[in-house]
């Protein structure tokens, strides 16, 4: 199983990596318990920064697509196939849309919502 990235693609490299690993899980090329290359190996082979691969692995681990077992390495999560169907960004968009709609119904203006959102994100409240 090979993975490829296009360095000219506007899609960020870590995102390309995530998409392909998820696709490999869905297609059955990668199964639960399969070992993945180390961050260093993948970064060296793809000639990208270690941080790029680390970010992709971190986000995949957050989504329970992969799991890191300390020094033993990184493996495909037992529930990876099911978790691939969960799109967190879609969930975030839906929740925010509902929340903004509620706030607007309550009479909040766009700028008030933006300022409040910025404050919450920057931990200023």
Partner 1 sequence: MPDNILFYLLFSTQLILLSYYYPSKIIKRIRLVHQLCPRETHPRLYSQANVNYDKGLQKYRLANAIILVLGVVLMFFVGYWDSQSVGKTGEAFPIFFGLFQFMPFFFMEFLGFKELRNMRNNDQRKIKKADLKPRLFSQYAPMNLVGLTIASYLLCIGFELYIADSVWQMKTLTIIITLTLCNLLYMGIIFWHLHGNKLDPYQSSDDRRRQTKIIIKSLLITSIATSVYFTGTAALQHFQLERFEITLNCFYMLIIAVVGVGFLLKEIRVEEINFDVYKADYKA
Q: Which residues bind partner 1 (CB under 8 A)?
A: 1-8, 21, 24, 29-30, 35-38, 40-42, 44-48, 73
Q: Rg of the chain's alpha carbons, rounded to an integer?
A: 18
Closer by beta carbon to partner 1, 38 or else 83: 38
CA dist., res. 31 & res. 79, Å (int): 10
Rounded to a whole number of angstroms, the minimum distance from the CB of residue 69 to partner 1 is: 12
Strand order in the sheet with 35-36: 35-36, 74-76, 66-68
Q: Map tokens 């009479």 to a residue.
A: 107
Rounded to a whole number of angstroms, the minimum distance from the CB of residue 6 to partner 1 is: 5
Rounded to a whole number of angstroms, the minimum distance from the CB of residue 120 to partner 1 is: 38
């Amino acid at each position: 199983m090979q993975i490829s990235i296009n360095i000219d693609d506007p899609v960020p490299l870590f995102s390309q990596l995530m998409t392909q690993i998820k696709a490999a899980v869905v297609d059955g090329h990668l199964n639960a318990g399969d070992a993945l290359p180390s961050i260093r190996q993948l970064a060296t082979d793809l000639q990208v920064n270690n941080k790029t691969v680390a970010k992709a692995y971190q986000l995949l681990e957050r989504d329970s697509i992969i799991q890191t077992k300390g020094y033993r390495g990184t493996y495909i999560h037992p529930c990876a196939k099911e978790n691939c169907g969960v799109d967190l960004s879609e969930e975030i968009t839906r929740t925010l849309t509902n929340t903004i709609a509620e706030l607007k119904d309550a009479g909040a203006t766009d700028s008030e919502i933006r300022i409040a959102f910025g404050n919450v994100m920057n931990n200023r409240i």
